[in-house]
Amino acid sequence: MSGSVFLLLLAGTLLCGLLFHTVSHNEAGDRTRTKRPNFIIILADDIGWGDLGANQQAGQSSSQTPHLDLMAQQGMRLTDFHSPASTCSPSRAALLTGRHGLRNGVTHNFAVGSVGGLPLSETTLAEILHQGGYYTAMIGKWHLGHNGPYSPTNRGFDYYLGIPYSNDMGCTDLPGYELPSCPPCYPGPQILHNSCYTKVALPLFENRTIVEQPLDLWRLTQRYTSTALNVIHTARERGQPFLLYVALAHMHVPLSPPSYAPHPSEGGVYAASLREMDGLVGAIKNASDASDKENTLIWFTGDNGPWEQKCQYAGSVGPFLGKWQTSRGGGSAKRTTWEGGHRVPTVSYWPGRVPANSTSSALLSGLDIFPTLLSLAGVNPPSDRRYDGIDATDVLLHGKETGNEFLFHPNSGAAGKYGDLQTVRLGRHKAFYITGAAEACGGSKGRQELHDPPMIFDLSGDKGEETPLDPTTEEYKEVDERVRRWREALLYDIATDQSVSTADYATDQSAAPCCDPRHTACRCLTLASACCEEAGLWVILLEVSTGD
């Protein structure tokens, strides 16, 4: 068979795999009941695969995640689950659209002053479920555009409470733990180092209104928890199926665990933050169990791996150390396509539906959440575009290992061009076309290296990605050929996709969210604090928000 004929056949096979199949009457009867299921997606930020206690080997340090461990014991632990990208905005866009960044247009992070966001030509999971009769709510980090039509309540969510981007992208009065540390908003703008945001305070939005700026990081978890419980309770009272998307601030710096301050607790700041995150997850699970547990799927996962350059404030990648890279300098977690950058702890919980105390090694991705939830809800996605996820219902509900045959990991801010698909997973093998350029703890950066032919690892015996296959072996040659053809087929499919979107990454100072531009750092001021500011004085008030 000629290469061109093979490519056409392969592209056709790929399209069939990417497009959602029509659910047969038998499948529909198996996947739906008289009541449509509720969905709770909990997305942790910068979390390591090894942070989940249930993922730890016997003899390791004590677990900091007892609630998640219980959820895994009562549900399914997905050990080979991957974020769609290794950084914030692209990963979230892919989760909500079921499409790679090269299709949905989001290939890197949006800024405080971003004019645009997730392209309006894209349709989100929330929009589709909302149109299908679901109540949709989001709590937490959005990071897909905060101006006008790009905000969550214009992208399918009935209700929103959260931060428009990462919790380090604005100053606060009582800064959390960060490396290097950043100053508070007062006594006025000052820059200690380039990674501190000091001109605009970190805002908290409710729907389209800023209700607190700067927000109180140390009370944020409490606020998220109470809001999540209220959403679950309200949905139960209304008798309406719901989607609750909780995009946590944990475990992104700055860390601000109240149980840690002001005196260190056992395990340090990161462990205290992990316990706080776990407590939030436990509260949501308990509320769901008390409300409608037999009809609610909870899916916990992460947006990418730990931010390695934050040292003691970064999580654990477990055995996925990226040793080939670390032995040459540079990081192998967030922003990279080494396993530590995108293999994330994942638990699926649905009493009576997801088998209890089960583990799946099916190759899955955050891209698969979109088609799976729509399938379970009995709702069809728009038919005018191509998708990159698969329906994982059989994995979750029936214990089958029918995951993705291949996964593509996009460049996410380290080596290469944003969004390019230059790392390919095929079964137990993983091929790199480019490596390097990510910062490690201590500041070292590995140099960017191109690999042609690709560098291939066998993850079944080399989780640490330390020793690539010998290019002269038959195993290498066979894998290389298959990887090349699958990659060519996907790139051709994207190049011919008429539904590809382009994100607007333009920035403008006026686009930054600002409660009151008359005041330093856009602070929302009470009358008392306004008087203090005019007098050239500053006191920390218990409440500076006009919304609480």
Asked if pLDDT for residue 29 goes beyond 80, the answer is no
Highest mean pLDDT among 25-34, 76-85, 232-241, 534-543 belongs to 76-85
Share of the chain above pLDDT 90, in %: 82
- 433 Cβ neighbours under 8 A, 6+ residues apart: 422, 423, 424, 450, 451, 452, 454
Asked if pLDDT for residue 270 goes beyond 70, the answer is yes
pLDDT at site 33: 44
pLDDT at site 25: 35
Task: Quote the CA–CA distance of 440 and 321 in Å, as a whole number.
Answer: 12
Instruction: Say which of 82, 88, 250, 342 is annotated catalytic.
Output: 88
pLDDT at site 260: 57
Asked if pLDDT for residue 499 goes beyond 70, the answer is yes
DSSP H stretches of helix in 498-538: 527-534
Extract the tokens encoding 47. 């979390």
pLDDT at site 197: 85
Asked if pLDDT for residue 27 goes beyond 90, the answer is no
Chain segment 200-239, per-residue pLDDT in tens = 999 999 999 999 999 999 999 999 999 999 999 999 999 9
Chain segment 113-143, per-residue pLDDT in tens = 999 999 999 999 999 999 999 999 999 999 9
Instruction: Let me know the angle formed at the C-alpha of 239 by 238 and 240, rounded to the nearest 5 degrees.
Output: 90
pLDDT at site 181: 92
pTM: 0.91
Is 233 an annotated catalytic residue? no
Instruction: Let me know the angle formed at the C-alpha of 384 by 381 and 389, rounded to the nearest 5 degrees.
Output: 50
Is 143 an annotated catalytic residue? yes
Nearest Cα to 523, choosing from 531, 515, 534? 515
Average pLDDT taken over every residue of the chain: 89
Nearest Cα to 317, choosing from 74, 82, 4, 70? 82
Chain segment 436-495, per-residue pLDDT in tens = 999 999 999 999 999 999 999 999 999 999 999 999 999 999 999 999 999 999 999 999
Contact 269, 250 (CB under 8 A): no
Extract the tokens encoding 56. 């730890």
Asked if pLDDT for residue 423 goes beyond 80, the answer is yes
What are 524-531's contacts with CB under 8 Å, separation 24+?
Answer: 524/210, 524/211, 524/212, 524/213
- Dihedral angle over CA of 85, 167, 272, 243, nearest 10: -60
Chain segment 50-71, per-residue pLDDT in tens = 999 999 987 667 899 999 999 9
Query: Could you identify the residue written with the tokens 């602070």?
Result: 523
Contact 434, 422 (CB under 8 A): yes
pLDDT at site 101: 98
pLDDT at site 5: 38
pLDDT at site 278: 98
Instruction: Say which of 82, 143, 146, 250 is annotated catalytic.
Output: 143
pLDDT at site 540: 33
- 264 Cβ neighbours under 8 A, 6+ residues apart: none
pLDDT at site 259: 64
Asked if pLDDT for residue 15 goes beyond 60, the answer is no
DSSP string, 158-180: SEEEE-SS-TTSSB-SS--B-SS
Q: Beta 429-435 vs 449-458: how paired, if at all?
A: antiparallel
Asked if pLDDT for residue 376 goes beyond 70, the answer is yes
